[in-house]
Amino acid sequence: MILFCPPGVYRAQSDTAVLAGLLGRGHARGRDVLDIGTGSGALTLAAWRAGAATVTGVDLSRRSVLATRLNCMLRGADVRIHRGDLFGPVRDRRFGLIVANPPYVPSETSVLPRHTAGRCWDAGPDGRAVLDRICAGAADHLTPDGRVLLVHSAVCGPDETVDRFAAAGLAAEVVERARIPFGPVMRSRATLLERRGLIEPGERLEELVVVEARHA
Protein backbone atom coordinates (compact mmCIF):
# COMPACT_ATOMS: atom_id res chain seq x y z
CA MET A 1 0.00 0.00 0.00
CA ILE A 2 1.51 3.32 -1.08
CA LEU A 3 0.75 6.05 1.46
CA PHE A 4 1.30 9.79 1.50
CA CYS A 5 4.02 10.27 4.10
CA PRO A 6 5.43 13.79 4.52
CA PRO A 7 8.72 14.46 6.33
CA GLY A 8 8.49 13.86 10.07
CA VAL A 9 5.81 11.16 9.74
CA TYR A 10 6.71 7.53 10.42
CA ARG A 11 6.90 5.57 7.19
CA ALA A 12 5.47 2.05 7.49
CA GLN A 13 8.25 -0.53 7.79
CA SER A 14 8.70 -4.18 8.77
CA ASP A 15 7.22 -3.71 12.25
CA THR A 16 4.08 -2.25 10.69
CA ALA A 17 3.88 -5.15 8.25
CA VAL A 18 4.15 -7.75 11.03
CA LEU A 19 1.27 -6.19 12.94
CA ALA A 20 -0.82 -5.62 9.81
CA GLY A 21 -0.42 -9.31 9.01
CA LEU A 22 -2.06 -10.23 12.31
CA LEU A 23 -4.93 -7.85 11.64
CA GLY A 24 -5.50 -9.61 8.33
CA ARG A 25 -5.92 -12.95 10.12
CA GLY A 26 -9.19 -11.96 11.74
CA HIS A 27 -8.03 -10.11 14.86
CA ALA A 28 -9.81 -6.91 13.80
CA ARG A 29 -12.97 -8.31 12.23
CA GLY A 30 -16.13 -6.99 13.88
CA ARG A 31 -14.24 -5.14 16.61
CA ASP A 32 -13.97 -1.48 17.56
CA VAL A 33 -10.27 -0.86 16.93
CA LEU A 34 -7.98 1.81 18.39
CA ASP A 35 -4.67 2.51 16.63
CA ILE A 36 -2.27 4.27 19.01
CA GLY A 37 0.41 6.29 17.21
CA THR A 38 -1.16 5.96 13.79
CA GLY A 39 1.66 7.67 11.84
CA SER A 40 0.68 7.65 8.17
CA GLY A 41 -2.37 5.50 8.91
CA ALA A 42 -1.07 2.13 7.73
CA LEU A 43 -2.52 0.15 10.65
CA THR A 44 -5.70 2.22 10.76
CA LEU A 45 -6.28 1.30 7.12
CA ALA A 46 -5.26 -2.32 7.70
CA ALA A 47 -7.87 -2.64 10.45
CA TRP A 48 -10.52 -1.01 8.27
CA ARG A 49 -9.72 -3.35 5.37
CA ALA A 50 -9.78 -6.33 7.74
CA GLY A 51 -13.43 -5.73 8.60
CA ALA A 52 -13.30 -3.77 11.84
CA ALA A 53 -16.64 -2.45 13.06
CA THR A 54 -15.08 0.97 13.74
CA VAL A 55 -11.53 2.30 13.62
CA THR A 56 -10.10 5.20 15.61
CA GLY A 57 -6.56 6.48 15.15
CA VAL A 58 -4.63 8.71 17.56
CA ASP A 59 -1.31 10.49 17.13
CA LEU A 60 0.43 13.36 18.91
CA SER A 61 1.84 14.72 15.65
CA ARG A 62 -0.23 17.18 13.64
CA ARG A 63 1.49 16.03 10.45
CA SER A 64 0.66 12.40 11.20
CA VAL A 65 -2.98 13.21 11.85
CA LEU A 66 -3.24 15.12 8.59
CA ALA A 67 -1.41 12.38 6.65
CA THR A 68 -3.67 9.68 8.08
CA ARG A 69 -6.82 11.66 7.35
CA LEU A 70 -5.70 12.20 3.76
CA ASN A 71 -4.69 8.56 3.22
CA CYS A 72 -7.98 7.32 4.63
CA MET A 73 -10.02 9.85 2.65
CA LEU A 74 -8.32 8.80 -0.60
CA ARG A 75 -9.37 5.20 0.07
CA GLY A 76 -12.88 5.98 1.25
CA ALA A 77 -12.17 4.63 4.73
CA ASP A 78 -14.76 5.67 7.31
CA VAL A 79 -12.52 6.18 10.36
CA ARG A 80 -12.01 8.69 13.15
CA ILE A 81 -8.63 10.35 13.65
CA HIS A 82 -7.71 12.39 16.72
CA ARG A 83 -4.66 14.38 17.71
CA GLY A 84 -3.50 13.72 21.26
CA ASP A 85 -1.29 11.79 23.62
CA LEU A 86 -1.94 8.02 23.65
CA PHE A 87 -5.34 7.37 25.29
CA GLY A 88 -6.10 11.02 26.03
CA PRO A 89 -8.52 11.67 23.14
CA VAL A 90 -10.49 8.46 23.88
CA ARG A 91 -10.42 8.51 27.67
CA ASP A 92 -14.11 7.60 27.97
CA ARG A 93 -14.16 4.80 25.37
CA ARG A 94 -13.39 1.08 25.39
CA PHE A 95 -12.28 -0.97 22.41
CA GLY A 96 -12.31 -4.59 21.34
CA LEU A 97 -8.78 -4.25 19.94
CA ILE A 98 -5.94 -1.83 20.63
CA VAL A 99 -2.98 -1.91 18.23
CA ALA A 100 0.23 0.04 18.67
CA ASN A 101 3.57 0.39 16.93
CA PRO A 102 5.10 3.01 19.23
CA PRO A 103 8.61 4.47 19.35
CA TYR A 104 10.89 1.83 20.89
CA VAL A 105 14.49 2.47 19.78
CA PRO A 106 16.83 3.10 22.75
CA SER A 107 18.21 6.64 22.62
CA GLU A 108 21.04 8.54 24.24
CA THR A 109 18.93 10.32 26.87
CA SER A 110 15.51 10.21 28.47
CA VAL A 111 14.55 13.51 26.77
CA LEU A 112 12.14 12.63 23.97
CA PRO A 113 12.04 14.84 20.88
CA ARG A 114 8.77 16.59 20.09
CA HIS A 115 9.37 18.41 16.80
CA THR A 116 11.90 16.30 14.86
CA ALA A 117 11.73 12.98 13.03
CA GLY A 118 13.32 11.33 16.07
CA ARG A 119 9.95 11.39 17.84
CA CYS A 120 8.96 8.49 15.55
CA TRP A 121 11.51 6.15 17.13
CA ASP A 122 13.38 7.64 20.13
CA ALA A 123 12.15 6.01 23.36
CA GLY A 124 14.63 6.73 26.14
CA PRO A 125 17.72 4.79 27.29
CA ASP A 126 15.95 1.41 27.45
CA GLY A 127 13.46 2.01 24.64
CA ARG A 128 10.50 1.70 26.98
CA ALA A 129 9.39 5.31 27.57
CA VAL A 130 6.21 4.89 25.51
CA LEU A 131 5.83 1.11 25.77
CA ASP A 132 5.41 1.23 29.54
CA ARG A 133 2.74 3.93 29.32
CA ILE A 134 0.74 1.83 26.88
CA CYS A 135 1.05 -1.24 29.11
CA ALA A 136 -0.17 0.78 32.11
CA GLY A 137 -3.13 2.41 30.38
CA ALA A 138 -4.50 -0.20 28.01
CA ALA A 139 -6.66 -2.12 30.51
CA ASP A 140 -8.86 0.91 31.17
CA HIS A 141 -9.74 1.09 27.47
CA LEU A 142 -10.48 -2.57 26.71
CA THR A 143 -13.87 -4.24 26.57
CA PRO A 144 -14.15 -7.38 28.75
CA ASP A 145 -13.19 -9.59 25.78
CA GLY A 146 -10.82 -7.05 24.23
CA ARG A 147 -7.15 -7.48 23.50
CA VAL A 148 -4.00 -5.48 22.78
CA LEU A 149 -1.48 -6.16 20.01
CA LEU A 150 1.77 -4.29 20.67
CA VAL A 151 4.85 -4.57 18.45
CA HIS A 152 8.41 -3.67 19.43
CA SER A 153 12.02 -4.78 19.19
CA ALA A 154 13.29 -7.58 21.41
CA VAL A 155 16.05 -5.24 22.59
CA CYS A 156 13.39 -3.59 24.77
CA GLY A 157 12.66 -6.83 26.64
CA PRO A 158 9.50 -8.79 25.73
CA ASP A 159 9.43 -10.29 29.23
CA GLU A 160 9.32 -6.79 30.68
CA THR A 161 6.32 -6.00 28.48
CA VAL A 162 4.53 -9.15 29.67
CA ASP A 163 5.29 -8.22 33.29
CA ARG A 164 4.09 -4.65 32.80
CA PHE A 165 0.81 -5.84 31.38
CA ALA A 166 0.45 -8.29 34.26
CA ALA A 167 0.96 -5.47 36.75
CA ALA A 168 -1.95 -3.69 35.07
CA GLY A 169 -4.19 -6.76 35.36
CA LEU A 170 -3.75 -8.15 31.84
CA ALA A 171 -2.52 -11.59 30.83
CA ALA A 172 0.06 -11.30 28.05
CA GLU A 173 2.28 -13.41 25.82
CA VAL A 174 4.42 -13.08 22.70
CA VAL A 175 2.32 -14.26 19.75
CA GLU A 176 4.55 -13.34 16.79
CA ARG A 177 8.28 -13.03 16.11
CA ALA A 178 10.20 -11.91 13.03
CA ARG A 179 13.93 -11.39 12.42
CA ILE A 180 14.95 -8.58 10.10
CA PRO A 181 18.19 -6.73 9.26
CA PHE A 182 18.79 -3.53 11.22
CA GLY A 183 17.21 -0.49 9.64
CA PRO A 184 19.03 2.86 9.36
CA VAL A 185 18.24 4.02 12.92
CA MET A 186 19.25 0.74 14.58
CA ARG A 187 22.44 0.62 12.49
CA SER A 188 23.32 4.14 13.54
CA ARG A 189 22.93 3.13 17.20
CA ALA A 190 24.57 -0.28 17.07
CA THR A 191 27.60 0.88 19.06
CA LEU A 192 25.33 2.40 21.71
CA LEU A 193 23.28 -0.81 21.94
CA GLU A 194 26.44 -2.91 22.24
CA ARG A 195 27.81 -0.66 24.98
CA ARG A 196 24.61 -1.07 26.97
CA GLY A 197 24.55 -4.82 26.50
CA LEU A 198 21.29 -4.74 24.55
CA ILE A 199 22.80 -6.58 21.57
CA GLU A 200 25.81 -8.83 21.08
CA PRO A 201 28.97 -7.34 19.51
CA GLY A 202 28.59 -7.39 15.74
CA GLU A 203 24.90 -8.30 15.87
CA ARG A 204 23.00 -6.64 13.04
CA LEU A 205 19.75 -8.62 12.99
CA GLU A 206 16.79 -7.42 14.99
CA GLU A 207 13.99 -9.56 16.37
CA LEU A 208 10.56 -7.97 16.30
CA VAL A 209 7.93 -9.28 18.70
CA VAL A 210 4.18 -8.80 18.96
CA VAL A 211 2.83 -9.07 22.50
CA GLU A 212 -0.87 -9.82 22.91
CA ALA A 213 -2.60 -8.84 26.15
CA ARG A 214 -6.13 -9.43 27.39
CA HIS A 215 -8.06 -9.32 30.66
CA ALA A 216 -6.84 -12.07 32.96
What is the pLDDT, as a whole number, of residue 126? Answer: 95
Domain-located, residue 177 = yes
Per residue in 148-186, pLDDT (tens digit) is: 999 999 999 999 999 999 999 999 999 999 999 999 999
Is the residue at 190 inside a domain? Answer: yes
Residue 167: CB atoms within 10 A of its CB come to: 12
CATH number at residue 116: 3.40.50.150
Q: How confident is the model at residue 119 (pLDDT cuts 50, 70, 90)?
A: confident
Which residues are within 8 A (CB) of 59 and not within 5 positions of it... i.e. 6 or more apart?
37, 38, 39, 65, 68, 81, 83
- pLDDT at residue 115, rounded to an integer: 72
Query: Looking at the domain assignment, is residue 206 inside a domain?
Result: yes
Is 87 among the domain residues?
A: yes
Look at residue 3 and tell me if it is in a domain: no
- pLDDT score at 1: 74
Q: Is residue 117's pLDDT more than 90?
A: no
Would you state the pLDDT for residue 79?
98
Residue 138 pLDDT level (bands cut at 50, 70, 90): very high
Whether 2 is in a domain gets the answer no
Q: Which residue has the higher pLDDT, 114 or 81?
A: 81
Does 7 map to a domain? no
Sign of the Cα torsion 139, 143, 147, 148 reads negative
Do the Cβ atoms of 71 and 3 come closer than 8 Å? Answer: yes
Number of separate domains in the chain: 1
Q: pLDDT tens for residues 6-22?
A: 999 999 999 999 999 99
According to DSSP, the residues that pair with 32 across neighbouring strands are 54
Per-residue pLDDT, 54: 98
Asked if the model's pLDDT at residue 107 lies above 80, the reply is: yes
Q: What's the domain range around 181?
A: 14-215
pLDDT in tens, 34-88: 999 999 999 999 999 999 999 999 999 999 999 999 999 999 999 999 999 999 9
Instruction: Classify residue 195: in a domain, yes or no.
Output: yes
